[in-house]
Amino acid sequence: MRIGWTSFWAFLAAIAVVSVATITSEGQAPPAGRGQAAAPQAAPARQAPAQPRPAAAAQGARTEDGKPNLNGIWQAINTANWDIEAHNAEAGPHNDIMGAWGSEPGGMGIVEGGTIPYKPEALKKKQDNFKNRMLVKVTNDPHRFDTGDPELQCFRPGVPRANYMPFPFQIFQNRDQILMVYEYKGSMRTVFMDKHQEAPVDSWMGWSNGRWEGDTLVIDVTGFNGHQWLDRAGNFFSDTAHVVERWTPKGRDHMMYEATIEDPAVYTRPWKISFPIYRRLEANAQLLEFNCVPFVEEMMYTPLGLYNPPNRSSR
Amino acid sequence: MRNRMIRIASTLTAAAVMALSMTVLVAQAPAGKAKPQASNAQAPSGPKALPKTTTDTEAAIKAAAEAFKKEEALKTYTVPKTPWGDPDLRGVWNTATYTRLQRPQELGNKAFYTEEEAIAEYKKAAESDAEVDPRTVHYDWKEYAMDAWQGGTRPNLRTSLIVDPENGRLPPLVPEAQQRRAAAAAAARELDPMLGVKTFGNLYTRCVLGLGALPLVRGGMPGADSAATAAGVTAEAFFFQSPGYFTIVMQSNNDVRIIPTDNRPHVAPQVREWLGDSTGHWEGNTLVVETTNFNSKEPATNFLGSTDQLKIVERFTRIGPNTMRYQYTVSDPKTWTRPWSVDTTMPRVDPSLIYEFACHEQNYGLINVVTGTQIRFREGVRDLRGNGAPE
């Protein structure tokens, strides 16, 4: 029940950001000089309240090797994390106490063509997923991954979901590698640009190899462990999924994102999602910690009797 | 003996796969669709065919000593620059060490070993690290490359990580810190904190934080200040650089520290984070990083039992192709009577890769530890570990 509103706040904040961003997108501070002279170690202003910060270095449109410069903090503004297909606004799962805070916004969806081409048995599993989206199984065996939205339990979101969660993420780019860090759970992925590397093990975030096709960053993601959900509605893929992402800058402050999802075990054909991603333009934009492990411990361990210490009298 | 149970229990699920992949999978041809979820069962016991080098203590000690001498001999090293002009510190660096945080009392003010003494000390520590106590582990954990000597640690001329105060020891605690420590120990004697996740102070076992993201090097075995600071396992830090940022990704728990290098002010004082708020700047070839705004949430405490007033200033200087000098100064007026400082090095390790460490996703170690403690409690066994203070 905490889940809904945490994300919802972030979502509201994101909306606020966009409205500000559209007004001030040309009012950017000039890039800071790099390698500036050694600054005094204990500058008096360190504890001062947030003040306009110099924009991160190198916010130019191109990197030193002529590629599009994607360095920065970004965020998608949509409701795909609730459901990547078109959906109505709905009361949330605990609207008896959560009211409008826990309610879910409607959305147009991000699936090209509107519908995910599930195989019949996979569609059944998607529907079961939705019914059981808040069923949390904490066990010592792999059944714990059978049901329940991984996001509810503070598990890694996988790709592409990480890119449209209602949290910002930061791209760090150099010639050889691109590092993407997501505020949600501090999840990260390394995109290998220099040489293609096969996934050595399966994982939640997958294994990413990238290349430039003109000004589009194309990332090939494989090596999923099959526990990922695409949203809170139960859409999913399996460990045979192959995701190809295309990140195309459309200006300094936004890009188009597209992902093709192929998984013969789940879908009848490859299908595609697409949406824009916007730069966070606040002068003091910075990823903060969203370490959600402590936020889910009570929910996960209370049913096992492991959250609260036993009473002395129960000995 | 060494209490690695907790560490291993919570690490094995994810880390065995990672550690194995570091030493085995990567060394082989691409493994393709390896299926790590099969390892949701307990870690396998018994002998397993592994490359000889991963279990050969002698060879590892020799290699460590040679690497140490080679890098020590470098008098003039010009640090390479990134394409955008910053000193290039990129790569994976090993944070494990056998050097103790505090100097053994009997060494007095002897700050340095001779080269021979340093190598002998390293040999002693590595061989002791390679021992397996069947009472605490039921498998040969050398197989999982959990010993520091398998990760590329090197001998160190210093007799302690701490260089200030001069005696190489932590400064005395202020009275309120003494009281805090005494109160925690008393509470733990009353009720083991591991009886419930709510009171469980060990952030590592709970997968809230990994081992040693800040500071990165904390002092090694034997004689480490706690099991969790002695990590030889998953002791890799990946340094990623991009214009205006220095980002550290830890192998342990994949903790991420994003450090802007424009010397910006810290976030507002009411913003508190587990890893604090880091801000950095370059002083010549040295990256200086100051971190404040730490959390202090009961029952968990910060580094060595410090408070939310903790401040850590780190200095990173690449002094050889494979050696990073790492200095840090710790202060917390609510814990120590004065600031104290460490000066050490980190060796570079290859391959320059970090693997996913999905700790919380399958943290059945925590389930087992708390369940076991509750069973002991019902059986009337107290103070199983011989101490009760949360780490």
- The predicted pLDDT at position A315 comes to 53
The beta-carbon neighbor of B197 closest among A175, A190, A306 is A306
How is B312-348 classified by DSSP, letter by letter?
EEEEEEEEETTEEEEEEEEE-TTTBSS-EEEEEEEEE
In a domain, residue B347? The reply is: yes
Q: Is A187 helix (H, G, I), strand (E, B) or coil?
A: coil
The beta-carbon neighbor of A57 closest among B35, B206, B262 is B262
Per-residue pLDDT tens digits of chain A, which is 315 residues long: 333 444 444 443 444 333 333 333 333 333 333 333 333 343 444 444 344 344 444 456 899 889 999 999 999 999 999 999 999 999 998 999 999 999 999 999 999 999 999 999 999 999 999 999 999 988 888 778 888 999 999 999 999 999 999 999 999 999 999 999 999 999 999 999 988 889 999 999 999 999 999 999 999 999 999 999 999 999 999 999 999 999 999 999 999 999 999 999 999 999 999 999 999 999 999 999 999 999 999 999 999 999 999 986 655
CB pairs A-B closer than 8 Å: 217
Q: List the domain range (segments joined by +) for residue B136.
A: 5-176+201-358
Q: Which residues contact B328 (CB under 8 A, 6 or more apart)?
A: B215, B312, B313, B314, B315, B341, B342
DSSP one-letter code for A153: G
Q: Find chain B residues with C-beta within 8 A of A310's C-beta.
A: 195-196, 374, 377-378
Q: Is A51 on the interface with B (CB under 8 A)?
A: yes
- The predicted pLDDT at position B140 comes to 61
What ipTM, to 2 d.p.?
0.83
In a domain, residue B277? The reply is: yes
Question: Residues 357-386, chain B: which have Cβ within 8 Å of A?
Answer: 358, 360-362, 364, 366-368, 370-371, 374, 377-378, 380
Whole-number Å distance between alpha carbons of A161 and A172: 19
In a domain, residue B354? The reply is: yes
For residue B95, with 0-12 CB atoms within 10 Å meaning exposed, 13-18 middle and 19 or more buried, which class applies? buried
Q: Find chain A residues with C-beta within 8 A of B274's C-beta.
A: 289, 291
Q: Find chain B residues with C-beta within 8 A of A173's C-beta.
A: 242
8 Å CB contact between A217 and A209: no
Query: How many other C-beta atoms can be found within 10 angstroms of the C-beta atom of residue A33?
Result: 10
Chain segment B301-331, per-residue pLDDT in tens: 899 999 999 999 999 999 999 999 999 999 9
Q: Is B206 on the interface with A (CB under 8 A)?
A: yes
- The predicted pLDDT at position B137 comes to 59
Residue to test with chain B: of A63, A154, A284, A301, most B Cβ within 10 A = A301
Backbone phi, then psi, for B106, in 5-degree steps?
-65, -15
Reply yes or no: is the peptide bond before residue B193 cis, omega within 30 of 0: no
Cross-chain residue pair A53–B264, CB shorter than 8 Å: yes
Residue to test with chain A: of B240, B271, B350, most A Cβ within 10 A = B240
Q: Which residues contact A30 (CB under 8 A, 6 or more apart)?
A: A54, A55
**Longest alpha-carbon distance in chain A:** 70
Shortest distance between the Cα of A89 and any Cα of chain B, in A, equals 30
Chain segment A183-207, per-residue pLDDT in tens: 999 999 999 998 888 999 999 999 9
8 Å CB contact between A14 and A278: no
Question: Residues 102-161, chain B: which have Cβ within 8 Å of A?
Answer: none
In a domain, residue B390? The reply is: no
Residue to test with chain B: of A291, A292, A307, most B Cβ within 10 A = A291
For residue B346, with 0-12 CB atoms within 10 Å meaning exposed, 13-18 middle and 19 or more buried, which class applies? buried
In a domain, residue B377? The reply is: no
List the structure tokens of B218: 């904390």
Domain total of chain B: 1
Query: How many other C-beta atoms can be found within 10 angstroms of the C-beta atom of residue B131?
Result: 11
Shortest distance between the Cα of A100 and any Cα of chain B, in A, equals 27
Whole-number Å distance between alpha carbons of B232 and B96: 5
- For residue B22, how many C-alpha atoms fall within 13 Å in the half-sphere facing its CB? 29
Per-residue pLDDT tens digits of chain B, which is 391 residues long: 333 333 333 333 333 333 333 332 223 333 333 333 333 233 333 344 444 445 677 888 888 888 888 888 887 899 999 999 999 999 999 998 889 999 999 999 999 999 999 999 888 888 877 776 666 655 565 666 667 777 788 899 999 999 999 999 999 999 999 999 999 999 888 889 999 999 998 898 999 999 888 999 988 754 444 443 444 678 899 999 999 999 999 999 999 999 999 999 999 999 999 999 999 999 999 999 999 999 988 778 899 999 999 999 999 999 999 999 999 999 999 999 999 999 999 999 988 889 999 999 989 889 999 999 999 988 886 554 444 333 3
Beta bridge partners of A244: A220, A260
The closest of B304, B342, B40, B92 to B217, measured between CA atoms, is: B342
How is B66-113 classified by DSSP, letter by letter?
HHHHHHHT-------B-TTSSB---EEEE---SS-SS--GGGTT--B-
8 Å CB contact between A225 and A202: yes
Q: Find chain A residues with C-beta within 8 A of B26's C-beta.
A: 200
How is B106-165 classified by DSSP, letter by letter?
GGTT--B--HHHHHHHHHHHHHHHH---TTT-SS-GGGGT-SGGGTT----SBS-SEEES
Going from N- to C-terminal start, the domains of chain A cover 63-87+110-309
- For residue B156, how many C-alpha atoms fall within 13 Å in the half-sphere facing its CB? 31
Whole-number Å distance between alpha carbons of B337 and B34: 52
Chain segment B28-58, per-residue pLDDT in tens: 333 333 333 333 233 333 344 444 445 677 8
Q: Is A288 on the interface with B (CB under 8 A)?
A: yes
DSSP one-letter code for B12: I
CA-based nearest residue in chain B for residue A198: B30
Shortest distance between the Cα of B275 and any Cα of chain A, in A, equals 8
In a domain, residue B294? The reply is: yes
The beta-carbon neighbor of B358 closest among A203, A286, A310 is A203
pTM: 0.84
Q: Is A173 on the interface with B (CB under 8 A)?
A: yes
Q: Is B259 helix (H, G, I), strand (E, B) or coil?
A: strand
Q: Is A201 on the interface with B (CB under 8 A)?
A: yes
